[in-house]
A and B are shown apart, each in its own frame.
Chain A
Amino acid sequence: MSDKHLDALEAQSIDILREAYAEAEKPVMLYSIGKDSSVMLHLAIKAFYPAPLPFPLLHVDTGWKFREMIAFRDAIAAAHRLRMIVYSNADGVARGINPFTHGSSVHTAVMKTEALRQALALYRFDLAFGGARRDEEKSRAKERIFSFRNAEHRWDPKQQRPELWNLYNARKHRGESIRVFPLSNWTELDIWHYIGAERIPTVPLYFSAPRPVVERDGQLIVVDDERMPLRLHEAPQMKNVRFRTLGCYPLTGAVLSDAATLPDVIHEMRLARTSERGGRLIDSDAAASMERKKREGYF
């Protein structure tokens, strides 16, 4: 990957971050702790340098993230002196919503989508940055860089605003909001090349290590804590695994891998025969699943 290609991607993302910030009243950056969020945060720090990051980060915590993710989040927030808002859907917590008893779609709807809508409404954020990329999934391939949401946080894919040149339209009425995707034109490979070139810290779960796993419904699930109820005949085994994408641990499949360094990971990705989100159980819930979740307010 040439530096020129990464330079161009970086410049476009910085341009988007600045433009959105200049047009917003109260922006926030959605921070999911994953590799894309790490790159987006790195770009934002560059975009506003030497000023400190002029907006807070928001992490919607479902309560089921890997422990290493939470530790990484807190370390990054401290290192960069970031304003990190951690929000959980208190109602969902009180109802004991979890991926095991309620299934992935209820868990995601209540603890992610609904929680995000609550947080955006509570803090009255009118613009939210997200790290989604167009190469991830086919409904994301259709989304604008500046994506309008109505007062109910809904996306209407049939009525997207035309988006010409780099003239982004961020105008909206009170209560409506804009989601902005600075990484729209990055691919998974670009992300890893950039992480390597810029030495961006990432959660160690992306790299191979012996971890306790059980095989369930065709996926390798890492038993991250004692809350995971084991089925009959299920016994965690230590295997060398890593993750291509990170979410709630019960809903994110690991891959068998010995790739413990960045060059190993990139090499493995080039030869990979499955796509990045193949390990995300929430995507395969129903046909056009991502689009449906996005329409309801998911990132």
Chain B
Amino acid sequence: MNKRIDAVQGAAEAPEASAHGGGLLRFITCGSVDDGKSTLLGRLLYDASTLKEDQLAVLAADSSRIGTQGSRLDFALLVDGLAAEREQGITIDVAYRFFATKRRTFIAADTPGHEQYTRNMITGASTADAAVVLIDATKGMLKQTRRHSFLVSLVGIRNIVLAVNKMDLAGYSHELFRDIASQYAGFAAHLGFDSLAAIPLSALDGDNVHTRSASMRWYQGPTLLDWLETVPVHDERLRMLPLRFPVQWVNRPSPDFRGFAGTVASGCMRPGDRVRIQPSGAETFIKRIVRKGGDMPAAFAGDAVTVVLGDEVDVSRGDFLSALDAPATVADQFEARVVWMSDDPLYPSRPYWLKSGRRTVNARVTRIKHRIDINTMASVPATRLELNAVGLCNIGTDQPLSFDPYEENAATGCFILIDRLTNATVGAGMISFGLGRAQHVHPQRFTVDKAARAALNAQKPCLLWFTGLSGSGKSTIANLLEQRLHHEGYRTYLLDGDNLRGGLNRDLGFTEADRIENVRRVAEVGRMMVDAGLIVITTLISPFRADRDAARGRFSPGEFYEVYIDTPLEVCEARDPKGLYKKARAGQIRNFTGLDSPYVAPESPDIRVGMQDASVEDAVERLYAFVVGRQTASDNAAAK
């Protein structure tokens, strides 16, 4: 920080003033439920004299009111800050707490042990330099100990301390400690940690937390605080890597200034350095590094700056400025480890938003290579990823992405997946490498395009996507509508779900994964037919909103219309034109929509056909009028 003044020297005699020679350490506490993570962190805060009198008074009052430690202080109440956590005596979400000693400042993240809240544990782990893995000495290693250790290793934390807690309840047994430590070391051997220490302690009594335990004289190693104060932090490592500067925002306050604001992800840059813009590949050089108070001579990993470039080149949010001789990988397909964090499983080919660096693109998992069993670390085949599963996947994006392998550069090798309906963050990914074949598939542009074909047909192509239960009347109405359009001279095609299953989709069954693929194929064929200039009708049950919305995403505005054939289940079952409901009720068909497989109705379909229509003919007439109306509507209106 240039131009800083030493206004605060007057405080130099205070105890923490010489504190920060050891820099900042961000660490997490993790492990299974009730291993004492919150208690340990509370103890660290208490012993570090971070707590003030009013906070101690609240702690004492809370401990006697809702504490779980009898007449003693319940340190967990210091960090379990949510009402629901205090009621249940558990940790739901990660808490960030701050404390300082003479040697270092710390940001500690207390993470939840319940498997249900793994997403919050990994949130804390993703920004940590070190991890304290707790084990309850009286219980030994548990499933969550393994899961958390694996996740810690996956996000790239390399320094681990195993805190064998509750030694007071285990008779301070040296032998027990040795057994647990060696069992854990055996398990962790494959996790790629740089350093692993084991410390026997009692968080409740404070043994070997700040002060050496009188009850465990057999232990000669560091206390937990010693370890935290001295564990190496490789904050210089990112500076040594090649330059990556993801552009966050284009700063154009006036015609004379065009700057690119962002944070240096890795490496460094100086005015005069030549850089490559990615993904476009164009070359230019750094002209200025602008900061309020004066230009900077250099910027390093972690610095938030604004850059002016030497040439008038096309750069937008999400692009990288990279070292000329060591650019990032650019690809639209790559392999990655994915941690799944949603109750709704991950299915291949279902689309998600993917955010990486400063860019958000459409993405889908094209293939799940395998899932990793956290108990055995074995790779097992998988067709989907359930909540908290970790899988190795191939991922494809709709536009090229700049990235590095996560192991080489965590700052540019990570991504999140976002659900397109709920906008929730549902997946976390770490890229292994780009898939080469993506670089050899280039979409061709042809001269005769959609507009030209549509003009020759003298019609506006579009697609009507019929959705509804089996027996709701989709095929019947679609057939009449196509007849009507054909009779009036429109060029049409009807893609019927059942008919396609005899050919194009012959290899697909009725599992959720197969249904998703079925919808994807029909949507893609429909898109080609619209591209060819036709008015297309599709009739598929298409029970999931996510997949229908994904289908819509393949089309331009004003091309895709959702038609909901809203016939109640009882009516469909009474009609039962193909006898399928009868068979399903008899148990001869499984995964039957409406019975043992859900139908998620459209929230706001473009057209709803149902009770408001006096007859099938009325419904067809209304649909016909809708299509004809689209033909005369202006493009703008159609786009809305």
Q: Are A160 and B303 in contact (CB under 8 A)?
A: no
Q: Using a CB-CB cutoff of 8 Å, which residues 322-364 of chain B contact chain A?
A: 341, 353, 355-356, 358
In the complex, the answer to whether B107 meets A164 with C-beta atoms within 8 Å is no
A62 → chain B, closest Cβ, in Å?
Answer: 24
Query: Is A135's beta carbon under 8 Å from chain B?
Result: yes
- Roughly how many angstroms separate A102 CA and B355 CA in the complex, as a whole number? 48
In the assembled complex, the CB of A176 is this many whole angstroms from the nearest CB of chain B, namely: 8
Asked whether any CB of chain A lies closer than 8 Å to the CB of B191, the reply is: no
**C-alpha gap A2/B425 in the complex (Å):** 35
A141 touches which of B81, B83, B252 (Cβ 8 Å)? B81
Which residues of chain A are within 8 angstroms of B86 by Cβ–Cβ distance?
288
Query: A193 near B8 (CB under 8 angstroms)?
Result: yes
User: Which residue of the partner chain B has the closest CB to A172?
Assistant: B423
Known: A11-B303, A162-B123. Is A138-B78 also a contact (CB below 8 A)?
Answer: yes
Contact (Cβ within 8 A) A274 B53: yes
A52 at the interface (CB under 8 A from B): yes
Residue A83 at the B interface, CB < 8 A? no
Counting contact residues on chain A (CB < 8 A from B), the size range is 35 or more
Q: Which of A69-77, A90-98, A195-203, A206-214 contacts B (4 or more CB under 8 A)?
A: A195-203
Q: Which of B10-18, B129-137, B197-205, B525-533 contacts A (4 or more CB under 8 A)?
A: B10-18
Q: Within 8 Å of chain B (Cβ to Cβ): is A126?
A: no
Q: Which listed residue (A52, A163, A187, A275) contacts B253, Cβ 8 A?
A: A52
A22 at the interface (CB under 8 A from B): yes
- Asked if residues A288 and B83 are in contact (CB atoms below 8 Å), the reply is yes
Contact B54 A48 (CB under 8 A): no
A267 at the B interface (CB under 8 A): yes
Q: Which residues of A contact B96 (CB under 8 A)?
A: 134, 141-142, 184-185
Q: Are A275 and B55 in contact (CB under 8 A)?
A: yes
- Contact A5:B20 (CB < 8 A) given known A134-B98, A138-B79, A274-B52: yes
* Contact, CB under 8 Å: B53 / A263: no
A7 and B1 form a contact (CB under 8 A):
yes
- List of B residues within 8 angstroms of A171 by Cβ: 353, 418, 423
B54 CB contact (under 8 Å) in A2, A135, A278: A278
Q: Out of B4, B83, B356, B425, which one reaches A197, CB within 8 Å? A: B4
The answer on a CB contact under 8 Å between A10 and B54 is no
Contact (Cβ within 8 A) A1 B123: no
B11's partner among A135, A173, A270 (CB-CB below 8 A) is A270
> Does B416 have its Cβ within 8 Å of any Cβ on chain A?
yes
Whether, in the assembled complex, B24 has its beta carbon less than 8 Å from a beta carbon of chain A, the answer is yes
With contacts A162-B341, A165-B127 known, is A142 near B95, CB below 8 A?
yes
Closest chain B residue to A168, Cβ basis: B355
Q: Flag whether B251 is at the interface (Cβ < 8 A).
A: yes
Question: Looking at the complex, which of A13-21, A108-116, A225-233 is the stretch in contact with chain B?
Answer: A13-21
Chain B nearest CB, measured from A167 CB (Å): 5
- CB of A41, distance to nearest CB on chain B (Å): 13
Q: Which residues does chain B contribute within 8 Å of A273, judged by CB atoms? A: 52-53
Complex alpha-carbon distance, A111 and B619, angstroms: 53
Given contacts A5-B20, A187-B98, A278-B52, contact A169 B355 (CB under 8 A): yes
Interface magnitude class on chain B:
35 or more
* A30 proximity list for chain B (CB < 8 A): none
Residues of A within 8 A of B261 (CB): 18, 47-48
A6 contacts across to B, CB distance below 8 A = 1, 4
CB closest chain-A residue, reference B420: A171
What is the CB-to-nearest-CB distance from B213 to chain A, in angstroms, rounded to a whole number? 29
Which A residue sits closest to B50, measured CB to CB?
A: A135
Q: Are A197's CB and B7's CB within 8 A?
A: yes
Tell me, yes or no, whether A260 is within 8 Å of chain B by CB: no
CA distance A164 to B292 in the complex (A): 30
The smallest beta-carbon distance between B478 and chain A, in angstroms, is 31
Contact indicator per residue, chain B 91-131, by CB within 8 Å of chain A (1) or not (0): 01111111000000101000000000001101100110000
Contact A135:B414 (CB < 8 A) given known A50-B257, A51-B253, A157-B84: no
A162 contacts B7, C-beta separation under 8 Å:
no
User: CB within 8 A of A169: which of B8, B23, B54, B418?
Assistant: B418
Interface pair B4/A3, CB less than 8 Å apart: yes
Question: Which of B20, B120, B306 is close to A1, meaning CB atoms less than 8 Å apart?
Answer: B20
Check A196/B290 contact, CB under 8 A, given A142-B82, A162-B122, A267-B10: no
Question: What residues of chain A lie closer than 8 Å to B416, measured between beta carbons?
Answer: 162, 164, 167, 169
Q: What distance in Å separates the Cβ of B56 from its nearest Cβ neighbour in chain A?
A: 9
Cα distance A197–B3 when bound, in Å?
8
Verify if B415 is at the interface (C-beta below 8 Å from A): yes
Counting CB contacts under 8 A, is A161 at the interface? yes
Quick one: which of A236-270 are within 8 Å of B by CB? 261-264, 266-267, 270
| Interchain CB contact under 8 A, B1 and A197 | yes
Q: Which of B20, B248, B304, B317 contacts A10 (CB 8 A)?
A: B304
Instruction: Find out whether the CB atom of B24 lies under 8 angstroms from the CB atom of A8.
Output: yes
A157–B252 Cα distance when bound, in Å, is 38
Measured between alpha carbons, how far is A264 from B423 in the docked complex, in Å?
A: 48
CB neighbours (8 Å) of A135 from chain B are: 97-98
Nearest residue (CB) in A for B261 is A18
Q: Please, which residue of chain A has its CB at the minimum distance from the CB of B262?
A: A18
Chain A residue with Cβ nearest B91: A142
Kindly identify which residue among A4, A138, A199, A278 contacts B95, using a CB–CB cutoff of 8 Å: A138
Shortest beta-carbon distance from B131 to chain A in Å: 15
- Residues of chain A touching chain B, judged by Cβ–Cβ distance below 8 Å, are 1-8, 10-12, 14-15, 18-19, 21-22, 45-52, 134-135, 137-142, 144, 157-158, 160-167, 169, 171-173, 184-185, 187, 192-193, 196-199, 261-264, 266-267, 270-275, 278, 287-288, 291-292
Q: Could you write out 16 A-B pairs with CB less than 8 Å apart?
A: A6-B4, A10-B304, A14-B263, A14-B304, A18-B248, A18-B262, A18-B304, A157-B84, A162-B123, A162-B425, A169-B416, A171-B418, A198-B1, A263-B9, A274-B53, A287-B83
Closest 7 CB pairs of A and B: A263-B10, A138-B81, A196-B7, A51-B253, A14-B304, A171-B423, A288-B83
